[in-house]
Amino acid sequence: MIRKTLLYLMFIAQISLSVYAQDPIAQKYSAEINPKITRKHLSILASDKYEGREAGKRGAEMAAAYIAKEFRKLNLLAPVNGSHLQDVQLIETSMIANSFEVNNSILKPGKDFWFSGSGEAKNIQVNEITFIGNRPESELKNIEIAGKVILIILNGNSSEQISRQNYLKSKKPALIVTLNTEERNAKYSHHSAVSLSVKNGIRESLPIRENAPGIIQISEDIANLMLSRSGKTVENLQKNNENLTTLQLKAEIKMSYGPVQRPLKSFNILGYLEGTDLKEEVLVYSAHYDHIGLNTDGGKDKVFNGADDDGSGTSGVLAIAKAFARAKKEGHGPRRSILFLMFTGEEKNLLGSEYYSLNPVFPMAKTITNLNIDMIGRIGFEYKNSPDSANYCFLVGADRLSSDLHKISENANAVYTKMKIDYKHNAPDDQIYYWSDHYNFAKSGVPVIFYYNGKHEDYHKGSDEISKINFHLLSKRAQLAYFTGWDLANRDKRPVVDVLPVRK
C-alpha cells in the first residue's frame, strides 16, 4: 500500500508540472471526431450485410474495401507499393474424413456419420473394436485403449458423460465412435477443427491440437452394422451397458482422415499521412476491422456484428484520420508522419498485427508509438453502476516501455478530455495487455497505449449490435487518443523508451 501511495504522489507531481494550456488548433480539429461520423461508419461496418467481418471471408473483404475507399477520400497515401492493402494471405486448415468403411460398406459423411478431428493425417485399419460400457470414469483407469477404435453408447449430454469422453481421449485411442441414443434423430453438429495461419510465415503450427483422436458420431443403424459380425446389437449392449467395462468385438473398420488446406485472401489496410520536418518518424493508430463472422449454430441472430468489437475502434480511427487529414489540408499537418492501420485477423490470434510487425512498411525503429483502440463504444461490467459510467476509459500499456508516454497521455486527458482513466487492466498480472494488436508493437519495442471499455454481456455474441453503442462515449475516448497523438506527432522529442519490458 505504501509503495502504491508513493507512486501515486509521484504521478500527481509530474502531472502538475507538465499540464499545458489547450492548443486551439488541436481543439478545433477534434470536432471532426463526433457521434455523427462515428455512427455513419459503424452503421455500415456493423450491418448484417458485412456478415460479421470474419478474416478471409466476404464480409471482411467488403469492410476492407470500405476502409480503403474512406482513406482515399481523405487523401491518405497508399504506402504498400501504391496500394492501401497489405496482403496477409491466410491458410485455412480443416480436417476432412477421406473415407470411412465399416464391414466393407462405404459410408457417407454428413449422412451416415459426422466427423471431427485434429492433428496429422491418419490411416486406421482394425479388425476389432473396443466397446466401452457405461461405468464411471473412476473405473476406467486400467483399460488399455491406445491405438484402438472404441465405441461408446451415450444417452444425453450430461457433463459426466462429456468428462468421461474427454478422459477416454486422453488415453489416446486411434478413433472414438459414439452413438447418442438420446439424439437418435438429431442433426449432429459438424464442427471439424478449422484453423488459420499466415502463408509463408508465422505460426504454421499454432492451430490444430496435435494427436487428439478423431471422433465419429454415428446413427443407430450404422452402430448395428458395426456390431453385425459380433452377433450383438445396440439394444442388447444397452441392456448390459451398466455392468460392462469393456468388450472386444469383431468388426472391420477402415478410416482415413487428414487436414485439407485452402488459401484465403486477407488484408491489413494502411492509410499514410506524411509529416513535415520529422516525417521519417511514424505514429501508428490502429484498430482491427475483423470480427468473428456468422453464427452457424442455428440461432436466430445469424450475424456477429461486432459493433463494439471492434467496429467502434475502426470507426474511431477513421474519425481520427479525418481530423488529422483536415488539419493538414488547412496547413496544420503533423510534424511526424501518421499511419492509420486497420488490422485483419485480430480475432484469429492477432495474425494481422503479427504479420505487420514482422513485415513493417515503415521501420519499427522509426515507429514512435502505437495507439491501439479495441472496444470503446460501450460501458463494461466494471462501470455499469458507477457515477463515471459515461466518462471513463481503461488505458493499458502506457507506462510499460516509456515513462514519457504515460505523462503525455495523462496530460492530454487532464487538458482536454477530463475522463476518469482507469489503470486496473494495466496491472502486471492482467492478461489484457497481450490480447490485442498493440502487443505485437510492444514486442518489437514500440511504446503502446491500448484504449478499452472493458468486457460486457454482449462480448463475442450476436447481440454486440450498433443499437447498444454509446456514440458520445465512443467519440470522447477516440478524442483522447487523438489529443495524445497530436502531442506525440508534434513534440520536439519522441517518447523515450526507458522502461524494461516485462516478458510474458
Other beta carbons less than 10 A from residue 277's beta carbon: 7
Is residue 92 involved in binding Zn ion (CB under 5 A)? Answer: no
Residue number, 79 or 377, with CB nearest to Zn ion: 377
Is residue 309 involved in binding Zn ion (CB under 5 A)? Answer: yes
Q: What string marks each residue from 145 to 174 as x (binds Zn ion by CB under 5 A) or -?
A: ------------------------------
Give the cell for residue 53: 467481418
Please answer whether residues 159 and 292 qualify as being in contact, where contact means their C-beta atoms are separated by less than 8 angstroms: no
For strands 90-102 and 85-87, give the pairing: unpaired
Is residue 458 involved in binding Zn ion (CB under 5 A)? Answer: no
Distance CA(214)–CA(356), nearest Å, equals: 35
Size of interface with Zn ion, in residues (CB under 5 A):
3
Is residue 310 involved in binding Zn ion (CB under 5 A)? Answer: yes
DSSP annotation string for 176-209: EEEEEGGGTTPPPP----EEEEETTSTTTTSSSP
**Residue 346 C-beta: closest distance to Zn ion, Å:** 6
Identify the DSSP state of 415.
I
**Residue 356 C-beta: closest distance to Zn ion, Å:** 16
Range 360-399, binding Zn ion (CB under 5 A): 374
**Residue 79 C-beta: closest distance to Zn ion, Å:** 24
Q: Any idea what the Cα angle at residue 369 is, between residues 363 and 372, rounded to 5°? A: 110
Is residue 308 involved in binding Zn ion (CB under 5 A)? Answer: no
Radius of gyration, CA atoms only, the chain? 28
User: Is residue 132 exposed (0-12), middle (13-18) or buried (19+ Cβ within 10 Å)?
Assistant: buried
**Residue 437 C-beta: closest distance to Zn ion, Å:** 8
**Residue 409 C-beta: closest distance to Zn ion, Å:** 21
Range in contact with Zn ion (rule: CB under 5 A) among 122-130, 165-173, 310-318, 325-333: 310-318
Strand partners, 187: none
H or E, element range at 87? strand 85-87
Residue number, 51 or 374, with CB nearest to Zn ion: 374
Residue number, 310 or 404, with CB nearest to Zn ion: 310
Closest C-alpha among 461, 480, 457, 462 to residue 376: 480
Residue number, 374 or 422, with CB nearest to Zn ion: 374
Residue number, 116 or 314, with CB nearest to Zn ion: 314
Please answer whether residues 88 and 268 qualify as being in contact, where contact means their C-beta atoms are separated by less than 8 angstroms: yes
Give the cell for residue 258: 487428414
Distance CA(102)–CA(222), nearest Å, equals: 8
**Residue 151 C-beta: closest distance to Zn ion, Å:** 42
Identify the DSSP state of 100.
E
Residue with cell 462501470: 383
Category of 103 on φ-ψ map: left (φ > 0), alpha (ψ -120 to 50) or beta = left
Phi, psi of 36 (to 5 degrees): -65, -50
- Applying CB under 5 A, the residues found at the interface with Zn ion are 309-310, 374
